[in-house]
């Protein structure tokens, strides 16, 4: 029976998309202005754009958000990023307009291949189309697309695509009902 051997782990193939100096500067910026109680959205938006994020108008980023690599992030108009949200952007994360990531939500593009003794790094992009709501403490795994106006309820885990105008719950998340939006 094979065993995991982390001494074999090698992610030298992975390119984070920026120089080591840029990554160090972002790490310090993230610690001071994002993963902190710093409250000013406009400064955060400016800093994210400075580090290569593509952001629409009216984006709100609450305190204690943690962002791995902003150059891998695109956020549409009027999207909300809540307190303690973790954007683990080893791969690309695209967040559509008018989407809401509630407090403690996690978008995780990196994972490990548990079938390999070397526990290889795997990276897959995440796409949240327009009008998505990711509930408090919910997790979206790499490779998942949340179609237009889908909802992932609090504490749920999306490991597969979410259909448009549908509500998902559980771990793994399954469709529980349709999302109907009234005036």
For residue 140 the two structure tokens come to: 């979206």
Q: What domain range includes position 61?
A: 18-176
44 domain-assigned: yes
CB atoms within 10 A of CB 20: 8
8 domain-assigned: no
Length in residues, the chain: 183
181 domain-assigned: no
141 domain-assigned: yes
CB atoms within 10 A of CB 108: 21
The total number of structural domains that make up the chain: 1
40 domain-assigned: yes
CATH number at residue 56: 2.160.10.10
156 domain-assigned: yes
183 domain-assigned: no
From first to last of its 183 residues, what are the pLDDT tens digits of the chain?
899 999 999 999 999 999 999 999 999 999 999 999 999 999 999 999 999 999 999 999 999 999 999 999 999 999 999 999 999 999 999 999 999 999 999 999 999 999 999 999 999 999 999 999 999 999 999 999 999 999 999 999 999 999 999 999 999 999 999 999 998
7 domain-assigned: no
């Amino acid at each position: 029976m094979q065993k995991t051997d982390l001494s074999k782990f090698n992610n030298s193939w992975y390119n984070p998309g920026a120089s080591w100096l840029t990554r160090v500067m972002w790490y310090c910026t993230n610690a001071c202005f994002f993963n902190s109680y710093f409250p000013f959205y406009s400064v955060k938006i400016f800093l994210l754009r400075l580090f290569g994020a593509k952001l629409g108008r009216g984006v709100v980023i609450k305190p204690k958000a943690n962002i791995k690599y902003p150059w891998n992030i695109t956020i549409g108009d009027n999207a909300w990023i809540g307190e303690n949200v973790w954007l683990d952007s080893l791969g690309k994360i695209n967040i559509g307009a008018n989407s809401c990531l509630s407090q403690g939500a996690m978008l995780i593009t990196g994972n490990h291949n548990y079938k390999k003794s070397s526990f290889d790094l795997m990276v897959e992009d995440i796409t949240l189309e327009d009008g998505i709501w990711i509930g408090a403490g919910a997790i979206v795994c790499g490779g998942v697309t949340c179609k237009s106006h889908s909802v992932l309820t609090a504490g749920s885990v999306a490991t597969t695509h979410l259909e448009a105008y549908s509500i998902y719950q559980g771990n793994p998340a399954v469709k529980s009902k349709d999302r109907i939006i009234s005036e």
